[in-house]
Structure 1
Amino acid sequence: MAGHRKLIKKVRFTRFKQFNQVTFEFRPSNVTFLAGGNNSGKSSILHGLAVWEFCKIASLMERGEDAFLAVAEGRQGFGLGDDEFSPINVPSLKHLWTNLKTAKGDTDPDGYTLKIRCEWDDAIEEKHLEFALSLANDRLFIKPISSNLQAGDHVPTAALLPPFAGISAREARIVGALRRRRIGEGLAGAVLRNLLLDMYQANLRERERLRGEKSKISDSDLRRLRETDPWELLQDALRRTFSAELIIGDFREEYHSYINVQVAKGDVEGYKLTRWPKYNPKDLMVEGSGFLQWLSVFTLATADDVDILLLDEPDAHLHPTLQSQMVEQLETLASRKNKQVLLATHSSEILKTVDHQKIFQVRKDRAGYLQEDHQKVGLLAGIGSDYAPKLDRVRKTKRILFVEGSSDLSVLKEFANLVGIEWHESWIPWQSTAPHKDRSHVFRAIGDEVPGLVAYSLRDRDDETLGTVGPNLEDKGFNPAPNFMARKWRRRYIEGYLIYPRALAEAASVPEEDVVTMLRDDFGIAIGETFRQTLAPSAILDVRAKEILKKLKVSAASVASCYRADEVCDDIVAVLKELDSFAE
């Protein structure tokens, strides 16, 4: 079965949610990470595929095995009540349509205005199946409008899993339609015990078959079972990840009302878990949200009857370390069982670790796989999001000023005013403690969106040697890049330019003599005429000025506001002049 799975490579939406007319092309690889800003359409892609899957199932139930074969084109559609629609949760069915407009236009031959088409490769040719939907009098009408499927062709099966919710202490046995409705409502937890029971019972039947008349399963059969059976794979992953196993209670439909699932924990050796001394298994419900989220994802991932997993933020509730582990395990499972996974995420932990070629960026104006690694940095910085007002300002001014601390900008503005150098608000501040190399990746990613972009990047020297700073504050450790000026303070950090005794005393409201004494006795420095100069004494260049400000209980901005023009250091003036010269 796994070797014959059909993986979707192209999806076309017409008037579905925010997609008025758009086609998405996916690589039929095992895992694709859908990324983008809020409201960009990541979840809508998954929802659209879930609706397509629902149309497929409904057509089979209503019209039989040939419902969407090529011979079915031209048939009349069939109607369903709004209470029968189960794949996703919407306030009303009209919310499936772009801008809530369900009526046909001048170019529509009938009322079937919403369309979803999927394409995949078969052994011989490309296959496709397209459904159209219409809404009339609160009834949803569905019909296949395009297909080249023949009898015997396998159609991909997709399953949507939203973030985990809805678990309760009592879960009864429920049928497929109700299960789909619960998941569509965002209550995957309400059917988790059902899914686990199905897998467990299938495993028992397979074990019984393999055992046959023998007293036990042969070693070779047991090895194959452990490598392929969904229940075995799930339990093995639980042992390796959480040192835990699931215990499914006896369930007979004519006797039991609820499904009993407990979690046991202990020491793991190979495929064996030995419970900790005096440990009592606990009901599944009392486990943490991270455990339950992980379990719901992998229950679906290991199931044999699903070709395409649609995972909507499966990293929710998971610790960053577990997020990375989940992705690694998902990729292994998907590859082993030849599944396709479309995973929508906002997690920076996931996106920064996976190969950029697996990331599919979704935006309102376009979508596609990232072409270069630096685009990941831009994606993590929110580039392309509708909710990034800072980027809107950058688009207008084409200038970015990278600074390390929140007070750096206030200090520079204060000094610019003092020495009479114009401060240009066209420099849009971007706070980052990252090195110039990482900042340059952000610059390149934004530059893809904003032609003519210029960046000025200021970093503290910290514990790096003076030899890493050039005559004009160039960072010698960074290769020059066009329109990206990398500068490093000659002093340990910007606060090193703020230790002039008179200004410190005024900001701290203490006598200047007390400040001079403190600098001498506690920090081993004396401030003289050379303080302003670029090549000040090494004791001043290396002094831990942040500790001085902390001891005096003053902020960098408050000290800068107490300076006089003739006290501002030469390095500060050089930076301000350079910012002025490159401003627009």
Structure 2
Amino acid sequence: MIKRVQFVKFKQFNQATFDFRPSNVTFLAGGNNSGKSSILHGLAVWEFCKIASLMERGEDAFLAVAEGRQGFGLGDDEFSPINLPSLKHLWTNLKTAKGEADPDGYTLKIRCEWDGTNEEKHLEFALSLANDRLFIKPTSSNLQAGDPVPTAALLPPFAGISAREARIVGALRRRRIGEGLAGAVLRNLLLDMYQANLRERERLRAGKSKISDNDLKRLRENDPWELLQEALRRTFSAELIIGDFREEYHSYINVQVSKGEVEGYKLTRWSKYNPKDLMVEGSGFLQWLSVFTLATADDVDVLLLDEPDAHLHPTLQSQMVEQLESLATRKNKQVLLATHSSEILKTVAHEKIFQVRRQGSGYLRDDRQKVGLLAGIGSDYAPKLDRIRNTKRLLFIEGSSDIAILKKFAEITGIEWHESWVPWQTTAPHKERGHVFRAISDEVPNLVAFSLRDRDDETFETVGPDLEEKGYKPTPNFHVRKWRRRYIEGYLILPRALSKAAGETEEGIVSRLRDDFGIAIGESFKQSEAPSAILDMRAKEILRAFDVSSAEVASHFTADEVCEDIVTILKQLDSSAG
């Protein structure tokens, strides 16, 4: 398994090293443009260099004895691992020119390291570009004849399937996958697996009428085609049917899907069900099939899966991960899986998640780091985070109308409202918000945050004099506050303001509050220590009953009617705005 990858001037990695654990599945996660796909692309380019070297220079092309040899050139039309506008896009900032440190022009380098039989092995390729011609040579290797070298295969999100797929050679298959058209070669891959299975069955039969039970058991547990069919039966109650194919006669590969009842290794087709061509199956089925076709193949050691969860329902995403982990362990494969799926990242163990980010990449140390990761921290494309970097002020709120209420009350009371407070809406508890705060603080020094949440069904005794939450361990610059009333809307149920917003008489509002909700609003309404009936009233239901918005009611308050708790929070936000 590959344990370390080093890049020099490859795409956004001017110089970068990534250390991977020898686990079967590693989940690459991070913001957009963080480099997840580039890591996979770099490994795909390394694999291409390895294959091209074998084809051009023979079996000893990248052994230790090959160091110092001249490189060989390829035309841009022969480069197939990934799709690029031009080959110069392989280089960081498109700069391919040689410098003092690399006078021969081989400026881009990709190095992989893995554990060999007795010692750590490594193989490094360097690339040069001249007149749209790509030159490749091994620049560092300790490989000896017979040393196994990992074989990597990249699979982008599924696309490109057609009704007619002809038999194509390996180089063209790699090009199609590199172009993001894995569907264009899926039937070829399935046919290869099926024909290999037929040959193995014939070998095991060896002239007998049937395969022995022990041989059949081993075949079903290890053969790629058998494993794929079993996974299809278990997941989709389906099997693949490969049509006859003779290269001298057939032009296209026929693959159909049959569905029915599954019992053990047997699928009984549903009554009156006619098998359908592979192409008409849903995108989720085809995405899953392309992933597991590659995962079960015996000739791949390292699977590079770029967002394999695309098109999959959340339930199927989790199931796919479980099956991949089981299959990778059974077949001793390494899987590097790049994903944005919160469904996947929420369920997998933190030690399997490798966060790719500009300021230091690595495996998560604990579950708390998942919170910041799922919030998009580290992404180059996060406008909210960009604002926080500029203002260094963060305000956690629960409801979509909370900011509008606070702004209106600030205007009425004459307390300054600072737009530097960047709102972050979430129903998560203070503890989880604290994880987000700490994750953002790693990127934004001197960050200050307030976390406001409703009391809901918790007791009054959990709220302190300044609305701090009792029992919460203080964190520097992270101010935890809880409304003394059940909801922030509880500070809006003032008959005069309600009557203005609802277009009813104040007397009618008072009657409805008394008769429908058992609430009587008196002089103590604005006080922090109001009667328990006021503190605990279900204000959201009341506002819905009157069919008025929170902000609209707030706009009809006067300065001397605004509740003390609201004033307390507004003053705290004003003094901490910086």
AA aligned to 1:208 is E
The answer on 1:157 being equivalent to 2:169 is no
User: How far, CA to CA, are the matches of 2:508 and 2:192 in structure 1?
Assistant: 78
Distance 2:347 2:435 in 1: 15
The aligned runs of 1:379-458 (5 Å cut-off) are: 379-458=373-452
1:4 aligns to what? none
Question: 1:15 matched to which residue of 2?
Answer: 9
The code of the aligned residue for 2:443 comes to E
Q: In structure 1, what is the Cα distance between the partners aligned to 2:333 and 2:417?
A: 56
Cα offset, 1:386, TM superposition: 1.5
Distance 1:482 1:365, change over 3 A: closer
8 Å CA contact 1:374–1:444 kept in 2: the answer is no
CA distance in 1, matches of 2:181, 2:56: 26
Q: Equivalent residue for 1:307?
A: 301
Q: Name the CA distance, whole Å, in 2 between partners of 1:360 and 1:404.
A: 30
**Partner SS state of residue 80, structure 1:** strand
Q: Please state whether the residue corresponding to 2:423 is helix, strand or coil.
A: strand
Deviating more after overlay: 76-85 vs 310-319? 76-85
Structure 1, residues 51-74: CA drift from partner, whole Å, max 9, x if none?
A: 111111111111111111111112
User: What is the TM-score normalised by the length of structure 1?
Assistant: 0.95
Question: For the residues of structure 1 that align with 2:530 and 2:215, how far apart are their CA atoms?
Answer: 78
Matched, 1:29 2:29: no
Q: Does 1:104 align with 2:98?
A: yes
Question: Contact (CA 8 Å) 1:404, 1:431: kept in 2 or not?
Answer: yes
Relative to structure 1, is the Cα distance of residues 100 and 481 closer, same or farther in structure 2, using a 3 angstrom cutoff? closer
Q: Supply the distance in 1 between the matched residues of 2:331 and 2:95 (Cα, whole angstroms).
A: 41
1:526-550 Cα shifts (integer Å, max 9, x gaps): 2111211223333322322223222
Distance 1:583 1:140 in 2: 55
SS at match of 1:352: helix
Deviation at 1:426, TM superposition (A): 3.5
Question: Which shifted more, 507-516 or 97-106?
Answer: 507-516
Checking the alignment, whether the CA contact within 8 Å between 1:14 and 1:116 is kept in structure 2 is yes
In the alignment, does 2:236 pair up with 1:234? Answer: no
> What residue in structure 1 maps to residue 173 of structure 2?
179
Distance (Å, rounded) in 2 between the aligned partners of 1:287 and 1:577: 60
Give the deviation of 1:467 after TM superposition.
4.5
Give the aligned residue type for 1:528: G
Residue 256 of structure 1 is matched in structure 2 by 250
- What's the counterpart of residue 245 of structure 1? 239
Is contact 1:16–1:96 with CA below 8 Å preserved after alignment? yes
Q: Which amino acid aligns with 1:128?
A: H
User: Secondary structure, in 3 states, of the residue corresponding to 1:449?
Assistant: coil
Q: Decide which moves more: 518-527 or 245-254.
A: 518-527
1:314-341 Cα distance to aligned partner (Å, 9 max, x none): 1100111111111111111111111111
Query: How many angstroms does 1:134 deviate by?
Result: 1.4
- Cα offset, 1:435, TM superposition: 1.5
Aligned equivalents of 2:517, 2:39: Cα separation in 1: 61
Over 3 Å counting, the alpha-carbon distance change for 1:467 and 1:266 in structure 2 is farther
State the 1:450 CA deviation: 3.1
What is the root-mean-square deviation of aligned Cα atoms in Å? 1.7
1:51 aligned residue: 45
Structure 1 equivalent of residue 132 of structure 2? 138
CA distance in 2, matches of 1:563, 1:157: 70
Q: Alignment partner of 1:279: what SS?
A: coil
- Structure 1 position 349 matched with structure 2 position 336: no
Q: Which residues in structure 2 correspond to 1:86-97 (within 5 Å)?
A: 86-97=80-91
Matched with 2:549 is: 555
Percent identity (aligned):
84
C-alpha distance after superposition, 1:255-278 (max 9, x if no partner): 111111111111222222122211
Deviation at 1:364, TM superposition (A): 2.6
Name the structure 2 match of 1:170. 164
SS of 2:194's equivalent? helix
The 2-side partners of 1:209 and 1:551 are apart by: 77
Deviation at residue 127 of structure 1 after TM alignment: 1.0
CA distance in 2, matches of 1:481, 1:134: 52
Counterpart residue type for residue 246 of structure 1 = L
Following superposition, the deviation at residue 478 of structure 1 comes to 4.5
The residue type equivalent to 1:17 in the other structure is K
- After superposition, give the CA deviation of every residue in 1:2-21 in whole Å (9 maximum; x if it has no partner): xxxxx111111111111112
Q: Which residue in 1 is equivalent to 2:279? A: 285
Q: Does 1:545 align with 2:539?
A: yes
2:52 alignment partner, SS class? helix
The structural deviation recorded for 1:553 is 2.7
1:365 is displaced (CA, Å) by 3.5
Aligned length: 578
Structure 2: unaligned runs, 5 residues or longer? none
Q: 1:206 matched to which residue of 2?
A: 200
- Could you tell me how far apart the structure 2 residues matched to 1:395 and 1:251 are? 60
SS in structure 2 at match of 1:37 = coil
Alignment partner for residue 365 of structure 1, among 359, 366, 380? Answer: 359
Counterpart code for 1:315: D
1:76 and 2:70 matched: yes
- The question of 1:518 aligning with 2:512 is answered yes
Asked whether the equivalents of residues 400 and 454 of structure 1 are also in contact (C-alpha less than 8 Å), the reply is: yes
1:256 maps to amino acid: H
Superposed displacement of residue 347, structure 1? 0.8
User: Which secondary structure state, in structure 1, belongs to the residue aligned with residue 44 of structure 2?
Assistant: helix
Relative to structure 1, the CA distance from residue 132 to residue 473 in structure 2 (aligned partners, 3 Å threshold; closer, same or farther) is same
Shift of 1:394: 2.6
SS in 2 for 1:364: coil
CA contact (8 A) 1:356 1:372 kept: yes
CA–CA separation in structure 2 for the residues paired with 1:207 and 1:412? 73
Query: What are the Cα deviations for residues 208-248 of structure 1, in whole angstroms up to 9, with x where unaligned?
Result: 11122322222222221111111111111111111111111
Deviation of 1:86 (Å) = 0.6
Match of 1:3 in 2: none
Amino acid in the other structure paired with 2:358: K
TM-score between both structures, scaled by the size of structure 2: 0.96
Which residue in 1 is equivalent to 2:372?
378
Shift of 1:35: 1.1
CA distance in 1, matches of 2:475, 2:90: 47
1:34 and 1:360 in contact (8 A); partners too: yes
Read off the aligned partner of 1:540 and give its amino acid letter: I
How far apart are 1:464 and its partner, in Å? 3.5
In 2, distance between residues paired with 1:66 and 1:106? 30
